Chains A and B, each alone.
Chain A
Amino acid sequence: AQKITQTQPGMFVQEKEAVTLDCTYDTSDQSYGLFWYKQPSSGEMIFLIYQGSYDEQNATEGRYSLNFQKARKSANLVISASQLGDSAMYFCAMREDLFEAAGNKLTFGGGTRVLVKP
């Protein structure tokens, strides 16, 4: 079974509107971390936001917020006030065994391509 599932291969969003990117995960660990990365066409992966499994509040970073629903094992990314520069691939990733020296391994989902329309 896939550990990280992103069901939306691609989506359009109008400039200045908000968009929600879905991410569900599968783990039996109690301590884990969830990450979102942005990958523009240039190739580099840009870290956006992090949510720890023990964090009681949803993470926010500027226009990015994470809708963390632990019981449903979902960690959706919300981008508010979309800009043309937000057009990119977006990847959800998980790190399990936070207390273990497990090599800081990230497992990535398949990604969602976002295209912002002017």
Chain B
Amino acid sequence: ETGVTQTPRHLVMGMTNKKSLKCEQHLGHNAMYWYKQSAKKPLELMFVYSLEERVENNSVPSRFSPECPNSSHLFLHLHTLQPEDSALYLCASSQDITGFNNEQFFGPGTRLTVL
């Protein structure tokens, strides 16, 4: 595997389910990110992790719970979601969080549908 991978690619869940999204980066990066892309809205940053520590929580509801066990893996645990949480969830990584051209590399995303 190369780059940033995400599983599953598609997920359908009920409002009472608990599920997790997984992201893995094979780039040796120190920072990882979760983004939400809803229809007709700009991409929104949700969480930022640097060296496994959360450095940004962008006013995300507690029904989204991130976990970063090491610098290569990032999870997003989901529980009691709402239909408006249906979106494409993108994971990204970058070498660090400081510096000028700190390009973020994105995964293919998980298309989440909440029924």
Contact = CB atoms under 8 A, between A and B. Distances in A.
Partners in one complex: yes
A101 to B, nearest CB: 5
Nearest to B40: A110
A117 B96 CA distance: 39
Interface string A42-75: 1111110010100000000000000000000000
Contact of A104 (B42, B48, B90, B109): B48
Given A4-B42, A109-B42, A110-B42, A103 B108 contact: no
Interface string B34-69: 000000111101001010000110000000000000
The residue in A45, A104, A106 that gathers the most chain B C-beta atoms within 10 A of its C-beta is A104
Interface in B95-111: 96-109, 111
Nearest to B102: A104
Range, interface on chain B: 20 to 34
Contacts of A46: 106
B94 interface: yes
Interface of B: 31, 33, 40-43, 45, 48, 50, 55-56, 88, 90, 92, 94, 96-109, 111
28 contacts: A33-B101, A43-B108, A43-B111, A44-B106, A44-B108, A44-B109, A45-B43, A45-B90, A46-B106, A47-B105, A52-B100, A91-B43, A93-B43, A95-B102, A98-B100, A101-B97, A101-B98, A102-B97, A103-B48, A103-B50, A103-B56, A103-B97, A104-B31, A104-B96, A105-B56, A106-B43, A110-B42, A111-B42
B106 A106 contact: no
Nearest to B95: A104
Interface residues of A, number: 28
Contacts of B100: 33, 52, 98
Contacts of A108: 42-43
A47 B103 contact: yes
Contacts of B90: 43-45
Nearest to B9: A43
A104 B108 contact: no
A47 B97 contact: no
A100 B42 CA distance: 24
